Amino acid sequence: MTEKTTKSNQNQGFELTHQTRADNLKISFRIGMAKKVYFAFHYEDVAELRANVVRKHNFTKGVELAGYYDYSIWEESKKTSDIALKRLINGELENTSVTAVLIGSQTYARRWVRYELMKSVERGNRVLGIHINSIKGKDQKTKTLGPDPLDHLGLQISDNGKRGRPTVWDGQKWVFYSDLDAFEINEQPIATRGNNYQLSHWYKTYDWVANDGFNNFSSWID
Instruction: Read off the pLDDT of residues 117-173 as tens digits, 9 standing for 90 and up.
Output: 999 999 999 999 999 999 999 999 999 999 999 999 999 999 999 999 999 999 999
Cβ-based neighbours of 36, under 8 Å, separated by 6 or more: 68, 69, 71, 95, 96, 97, 98
Position 145 scores a pLDDT of 98
Instruction: Please report, for the chain, the start and end positions of each structural domain, with discontinuous segments joined by +.
Output: 16-147+202-220
Report the pLDDT value the prediction gives residue 99, as an integer from 0 to 100: 95
pTM exceeds 0.85 for this model: no
Share the mean pLDDT of the chain. Answer: 83
pLDDT-derived band at 95, boundaries 50, 70, 90: confident
Percent above pLDDT 90 for the chain: 59
> What is the C-alpha separation between 62 and 177, in angstroms, rounded?
38
Q: What is the pLDDT of residue 114?
A: 96
Given a cut of 60, is residue 3 above it in pLDDT? Answer: no
Sort 37 into a burial class: Cβ within 10 Å, 0-12 / 13-18 / 19+.
buried
The answer, yes or no, to whether residue 178 has pLDDT greater than 50, is: yes
Provide the residue type at 25 as one letter.
L
Q: What mean pLDDT comes out for the span 75-90?
A: 75
Say which CATH superfamily domain 16-147+202-220 falls into: Toll/interleukin-1 receptor homology (TIR) domain (3.40.50.10140)
What is residue 6's predicted lDDT score, i.e. its pLDDT? 40
Question: Mean pLDDT, to the nearest integer, of 51-80?
Answer: 62
Task: Give the pLDDT band of residue 12 (cuts 50, 70, 90).
Answer: very low
